[in-house]
Amino acid sequence: MSEIHVRKLSRSYGAYQALKSCDLVIPDGALLALLGPSGCGKSTTLQLLAGFDTPSSGEIWADQELLSSPQKVIPPEHRGISLVFQNYAVWPHKTVAENVAFGLKLRKLSRSEVEARLNRALEMVRLGALRDRYPFELSGGQQQRVALARALAVEPKILLLDEPLSNLDAHLREEMRFEIRRVHDELGITTVYVTHDQGEALVTADKVAVMRAGVVQQFGSPEDIFEKPANTFVASFIGSNNEIKGVKEAGGALRVGPTTLRAEDRSGVAPGQPAVLCIRPSRLQLCDATVPDNRLDGIVKRSAYLGEYRDVLIDLADGGTLRAFVAPHLRPSIGESVSVHLPPTACQILDAPQ
Amino acid sequence: MTTLNRRHILLAGAAGIAASAARIVPASAADDALYAAAKKEGSLNLYWGSYEQKTIEEIRDAFKAKYPGIEVNLLRQASQTVYTRLRLEIQNDAVQCDSLGTTNLLHYIDLKKIGAIQSHKPTNIEKVPEAFRNLDPDNAFTVGAISLTTINQSSKVASPPKSWQALLDAPWAGKITTGSPAFSGDVASWVVAIRKKYGDDFLKAFAKQKPKVGQSNVDTVTDILSGERSVGSGAPFSYSLAQKVAGNPIDVTVPEDGAILNLGLAAVPTKAPHPNAGKLFTDFLYSVETSQILSKNFWPTLRTDVPWAEGRTLQSIKWYRNPVDNLAAEVTEGIAKWKEIVV
Amino acid sequence: MTLSFPTMPTRSASIGHLRHHMLRWIVLAVLLAALILLVVQPLGWILYNGLHDDDTGLWTLGNHRQIFASAALMKPVLNSLLLASAVAVLSTLLGVPLAWLVARTDLPGRGFIRVLTLAAFVTPSFIGALGWILLAAPNSGWLNVGWRVVTGAQAPLMNIYTMAGTIFVCTIYTVPYTFTMVSSALDEMAVELEDAATTLGSGVMRTMITVTIPLVMPAVLVSFILSFIQGMTLFGVPAFLLTPSGTLVVTTKLAEFYQLFPPALFLSAAYCLPLVIVTGGLFYVRHKILGRRQFVTVGGKGRAGRLIRLKKWRLPALAFALIVPVTAVLLPYVAIVLVSLSKAWGLGPVPSNLTFHWYRWAITENPETQRAIVNSLLYAGVAASFCVLLGVIVAYIVERRLLRGAGLLAVLVTIPIIIPGIVLSVGFFSAYTRPPLNFYGTGTIVIAAFVATFLPIAYSQAGSILKGISPDLERAARSVGASEGRAFTAITVPLMRGGLVAGWLLVFIPIMRELSVAIFLVSPKTNVMTTLIYNYKDGGNYEAVCATSTLLLAATLMIVLLARFITEGVARRRRNAASLGEVP
């Protein structure tokens, strides 16, 4: 329940720059996902937010209070920020109840208040029955819930989650995603969620910051990120993506060999310069060779049935490949010539990656 | 302690110690004044390396019995250790020692040179054998112990070597044990004396006998008792006899070419915190009580009127003492030669 | 759900920030003061002494020049290197598998082997050397006598008065270091890590070699270095066993310096430099090997124990595991106890020669031994506790990188261990006999010297435990509102507990058996058992030496078992409480 402002935040370790001038605004009560591959700076950001690390430059503000600057870092215990760790960090020498009540006891609350909040937190993550177990008697998912309950019990202003689901199996992970979102909706705590899993980010977050090599690539709603990626990195990191290289033409078009494809131009590239057209495989349509506009021809190289759709890989006549997710009842066979329509509304011209 | 004590007392009786001497002699008038001053000081710190733990403890206990009201703290460590400690104390101006008793004359010459020990002429010094009465013209130090270095051997050895020279005979090859002059002052004295007597040729022949070289001269007894070797050279006379009386299969041979006599000394540091108590202890060394304790423990006594154990006397033994002049250099050279020739 | 916010008022954050830093600075200031007093000062004196001439007392580099230029002075250094390297390698080869067998497998008699290995640890190595002289002197050693009787051979089975004999004796009394450090690391390690390998089809041996041992690598390396240092700094064993062959090592050469007239105190201070250099190199290598590798074995996940079944290997393994208990404890103590029960040990163990006299004398008749027993236990207990306290704090600062330059702190607390005790003793003498720090003659100076001497062990042990505890566990506490200090006391310390008890013993035991560092510091009232035993040995009173040594062993073992009993009792109570469903 705090609005967080991150201003020009940087962190270097010797010559290595882990985070480069990062700007973020996390609205009060929002759930922000920091998304990116390993080494992108998302965990560094989280450590800085939690107060375990000191920025090399820049500031972190929560509401009107300066939490971190190179000169001064308010220690973790005074920031009102709870952190849930990737490896849970459940204390092995304490029972579930002791783990969760630890933070409460530090607050000099009355015994009954501690008990009440403990019960509330345990109920929230549905662990009431296991309160007297030791961690080694719990499954991974249960330990994860203990970690979450422990962080929530102290009613933090801000909750940080560091890849909280990465150690869980796929089934549990899916369930926990919704669980985390449910808890967030119930409590409305400003939450920052670090993950490398785009699915997790899209499902749980209000806002997503995609990071790479210490730089925020795009900061926006899940729809924005998915539908209007800021660059090819974001486009291919979030979901599947086709990139078609070509030369930009004036008025929202890209020339690929002899073909001109119309598309929304979101690049900063002058006509005549190389650029890239991006389109999601799910937006491609198989079509007749007669369709006049935005059509590419090729030969089916691979076709995989995935139940809900068919994943088709097409070698284009002009070089390059395209991946298309088509309705499962269509059965293009390998070696067959096909034509693909790229609806202009689904196409975006972006800067060519460096 | 019962077994040993009884045997000791029986032996002492056999040795013919006069019944009168066995009683505690009342303190003299001069002693009274010193005792009063020492009593005022209240305590006494002994730093002693001469005599083994047991003997020096008995002397301490007798002192305590004779002079109640003085708390006696005994630090019994190797001579060189207590000397080094006193030097450190002097260096750091934190002297705690009231009486230093070590087996190395050089310590005292050195301490006297820097004015670190004070003059004290014991009232009863005239009872000390003449040869050891006036060691220092200024009485900065006086005799504290008489230590004899001899040959010792296993009881199984029927005819032990009669002299240092005899140790070089064929039968003793591979049978000899000895200490190291680099570790033991008594062994160093022996090496200095033997080189003076017979030169380095002795050491060369001695090396051919393949002696086993331990650290302290006490190690000769260990080797003999364990059966590792059968004859000890440069061996401790008193300690070997004490072991014999305790029942161990060992005996002593005083070599015909002379036992090596080494003196232990005693002195009171100039900055001693309890100087009078220290002086009182020096005087006590020459008391009948102390000499009786020494006799009982097979040490040469410090009084001519108290015979040694088993009726021995200083006169009955042929002995040799290294001259003091140039002793330091001779010790250094002796150790170097030993290392070069023996091990 | 209604929630009341904020729990931590905004304004208090800044005040808390201040308080947080105040506390940190106070702890640091106290720590630094303690280290300056305990370590910097005495080491400073040693350095200062090394740079002065023994005869003239003037500043000089002559001591160092002499050491590196003189073959007679370098030879002992090389001998020490040989001895120390051999001891370190052999101790690791014996100690690591032994620790694994006892901690992880169903080896029969594990408790017995644990206790006997501790008993080996408790034994001052000079006592062990005495025992082995009785056992393996070429002519008289019982084992050699037996060998001749059985085989009719002329040549002895073994000669203890050799470099090989010395390495052997040093090794069997050094293995316990390796054993204790590695087995406590194994005890703390999560079994899943091994299970993970086993489920991948890795055999028991393979798992041990590829997973278990690498995971306890910090402990193995630390114990390797400690063993090396033991080999470098032991005095009694080479003094007894190498003197007959005229082979000098650093410590026996130092003893010669102290025997010189006048004693070459300053030269001996300078003589420590090669040792410090070599050991510094070792720690550097360790740093290079471990580097930034993470050895978090206690993560936030729980663990449970299970034993590996040895099956047909039980007997061979048992034979291997008995090497140290038999050679370091059973055999020599048979000899030592027999001597202690003799009226005159030269008569041998015949019925008429038996007596309890020396025990009665030591316990009930002789105030010196009584006082020394009390002093030894008291000083060792107090010093070990301080050591562990300081060691844990320094290790925490270093491992968690709380301070810039923390590495320097690590170096500082590690140096004392390499300086031979007798030189340290002089350093402490200089440091604590002048106002305002005049503790000479008191127990304080003895305790201070013990703390400084064994701080490196406490620090390494604490460091290798901390390496195994994920910092996330502490951060988790911070993030729910615990201060740095609270996170340390409520989370880190309890998690270290098992290892800390081992660490305390790892310091307590060597203090009980330490001789040289006390030598210039004890006073008649503050005498400890080892100095007393050494005096009896000096006076040739072997019956008393052996009786008091046996008492020293008994007293130390009693404390060791008591400590284990108490900690295991606490652990059990916690478990029981848990299973009864109470929240303590």
* Concatenated DSSP letters of B130-153: GGGT-SSTT-S-EEEEEEEEEEEE
B292-331 pLDDT, tens digit each: 999 999 999 999 999 999 888 898 899 999 998 888 899 9
pLDDT at C558 (0 to 100) = 87
pLDDT at B230 (0 to 100) = 95
If you count residue pairs, one on A and one on C, with CB atoms under 8 Å apart, how many are there? 152
Mean pLDDT over C550-570 rounds to 81
Residue of B nearest to C426 (CA): B88
pLDDT at B11 (0 to 100) = 43
pLDDT at B226 (0 to 100) = 87
Is it true that the peptide bond before A55 is cis, omega within 30 degrees of 0? no
Which amino acid makes up residue B6?
R
A166 burial via Cβ count (<10 Å: 0-12, 13-18, 19+): middle
pLDDT at B12 (0 to 100) = 42
**At what angle are helices C471-479 and A140-153 packed, to 10 degrees?**
40
CATH architecture of B2-145+264-311: 3-Layer(aba) Sandwich (3.40)
E strand spans, C22-150 = none
pLDDT at C572 (0 to 100) = 56
Higher pLDDT, residue A107 or B269: B269
C103-125 pLDDT, tens digit each: 888 899 888 898 888 888 888 88
Is there a contact between C163 and C200 (Cβ–Cβ < 8 Å)?
no
pLDDT at B9 (0 to 100) = 42
Instruction: Provide the shortest C-alpha distance from residue C524 to chain A (in Å).
Output: 47
B193-216 pLDDT, tens digit each: 999 999 999 999 999 999 999 888
pLDDT range class, residue C197, cuts 50, 70, 90 = low
pLDDT at C70 (0 to 100) = 86
pLDDT greater than 50 at residue C551: yes
As beta bridge partners, residue A341 has: A285, A295
Chains C and B touch (3+ CB pairs under 8 A): yes
pLDDT at A281 (0 to 100) = 92
Q: What number is the ipTM of this complex?
A: 0.81
Q: How far apart are CA C382 and CA C343, in angstroms?
A: 37
Closest CA relative to residue C361, chosen from C77, C156, C551, C148 = C551
Q: State the CATH class of domain C16-579.
A: mainly alpha
pLDDT at B133 (0 to 100) = 92
According to CATH, where is 3.40.190.10 located in chain B?
2-145+264-311, 147-261+319-341
**CA separation (Å) from A167 to A172, A232, B14, C189?**
10, 29, 91, 20
**CA separation (Å) from C389 to C29, C393, C493?**
15, 6, 11
B207 burial via Cβ count (<10 Å: 0-12, 13-18, 19+): middle
pLDDT range class, residue B1, cuts 50, 70, 90 = very low
Chains that touch C (3 or more CB pairs under 8 A): A, B
Mean pLDDT by 10 residues, chain A (354 residues): 88 90 91 90 91 92 91 88 88 91 89 92 88 87 90 90 83 82 88 89 90 92 90 88 89 85 86 90 87 87 90 87 89 88 90 81
pLDDT range class, residue C192, cuts 50, 70, 90 = low
Closest CA relative to residue C428, chosen from C440, C418, C436 = C440
3-state secondary structure of C1: coil
- Kindly list the residues from chain B whose CB atom is less than 8 angstroms away from the CB atom of residue C353: 247
Is there a contact between C325 and C318 (Cβ–Cβ < 8 Å)?
no
Chains that touch B (3 or more CB pairs under 8 A): C
Residue of A nearest to C474 (CA): A89
A107-145 pLDDT, tens digit each: 888 999 999 999 999 988 888 899 999 888 888 888 888
C205-236 pLDDT, tens digit each: 677 777 777 778 888 888 898 899 889 888 88
**At what angle are helices C443-467 and C493-513 packed, to 10 degrees?**
140
CB contact under 8 A, C6 and A157: yes
Averaging pLDDT over each range in A330-339, B21-30, B143-152, C52-61, which range is the top one? B143-152
pLDDT greater than 90 at residue C75: yes
Distance of CA C371 to the CA centre of its chain: 24
C-alpha angle C420-C424-C426 in degrees, rounded to nearest 5: 125
Mean pLDDT over B94-116 rounds to 93
pLDDT at C303 (0 to 100) = 41
pLDDT at C18 (0 to 100) = 60
pLDDT greater than 70 at residue C22: yes
Is there a contact between C574 and C136 (Cβ–Cβ < 8 Å)?
no
For C480, which of A82, A138, A140 is closest by C-beta distance?
Answer: A82
Chains A and B touch (3+ CB pairs under 8 A): no
C283-338 pLDDT, tens digit each: 788 778 776 555 555 544 334 456 778 888 889 999 999 999 999 999 999 989 99
Average pLDDT, chain C: 83
- Kindly list the residues from chain B whose CB atom is less than 8 angstroms away from the CB atom of residue C531: 77
For C5, which of A83, A87, A155 is closest by C-beta distance?
Answer: A155
pLDDT at B49 (0 to 100) = 92
- Kindly list the residues from chain C whose CB atom is less than 8 angstroms away from the CB atom of residue B96: 440-441, 523
Instruction: Provide the shortest C-alpha distance from residue C245 to chain B (in Å).
Output: 7
- Kindly list the residues from chain B whose CB atom is less than 8 angstroms away from the CB atom of residue C265: 84, 88
Closest CA relative to residue A276, chosen from A245, A252, A302, A300 = A245
Instruction: Provide the shortest C-alpha distance from residue B126 to chain C (in Å).
Output: 30
Q: How far apart are CA C249 and CA C557, in angstroms?
A: 31
CB contact under 8 A, A132 and C581: yes
pLDDT at C301 (0 to 100) = 38
pLDDT at B17 (0 to 100) = 42
pLDDT greater than 80 at residue C424: yes
Is the model's pTM score more than 0.95?
A: no
Per DSSP, helices labelled H in C415-541 are 421-432, 443-467, 471-479, 484-487, 493-513, 529-538
pLDDT at C195 (0 to 100) = 63
pLDDT at A331 (0 to 100) = 83
C3-16 pLDDT, tens digit each: 333 333 344 445 55
Q: Return all residues near C125 (Cβ < 8 A) that are at least 6 apart.
A: C169, C170, C173, C234, C236, C237, C513
B32 burial via Cβ count (<10 Å: 0-12, 13-18, 19+): exposed
pLDDT at C304 (0 to 100) = 44
Q: Please report, for chain C, the start and end positions of each structural domain, with discontinuous segments joined by +.
A: 16-579
Instruction: Provide the shortest C-alpha distance from residue B118 to chain C (in Å).
Output: 20
pLDDT greater than 60 at residue C579: no
pLDDT range class, residue C582, cuts 50, 70, 90 = very low
CB contact under 8 A, B222 and C535: no
Which amino acid makes up residue B186?
D
Which tokens belong to B51? 């005599």
The H-or-E segment that residue C185 falls in is helix C175-188
pLDDT range class, residue C571, cuts 50, 70, 90 = low
The H-or-E segment that residue B260 falls in is strand B259-269
Instruction: Provide the shortest C-alpha distance from residue B298 to chain C (in Å).
Output: 14
Per DSSP, helices labelled H in chain B are 2-14, 29-41, 53-66, 79-91, 105-113, 185-198, 200-208, 218-226, 237-245, 275-285, 288-296, 327-341
pLDDT at A202 (0 to 100) = 87
C138-185 pLDDT, tens digit each: 998 889 999 999 998 888 899 999 999 999 999 999 999 899 888 877
CB contact under 8 A, B88 and C430: yes
Closest CA relative to residue C237, chosen from C316, C141, C188, C165 = C165
Is there a contact between C228 and C88 (Cβ–Cβ < 8 Å)?
yes
pLDDT at B203 (0 to 100) = 96
Q: How far apart are CA C461 and CA C222, in angstroms?
A: 8
Is it true that the peptide bond before C436 is cis, omega within 30 degrees of 0? yes
Q: Return all residues near C390 (Cβ < 8 A) that are at least 6 apart.
A: C31, C34, C35, C38, C413, C451, C455, C458, C459
Superfamily of domain B147-261+319-341: Periplasmic binding protein-like II (3.40.190.10)
Residue found by looking up tokens 């844990």 in the block: C392
pLDDT range class, residue C382, cuts 50, 70, 90 = very high
CB contact under 8 A, A91 and C473: yes
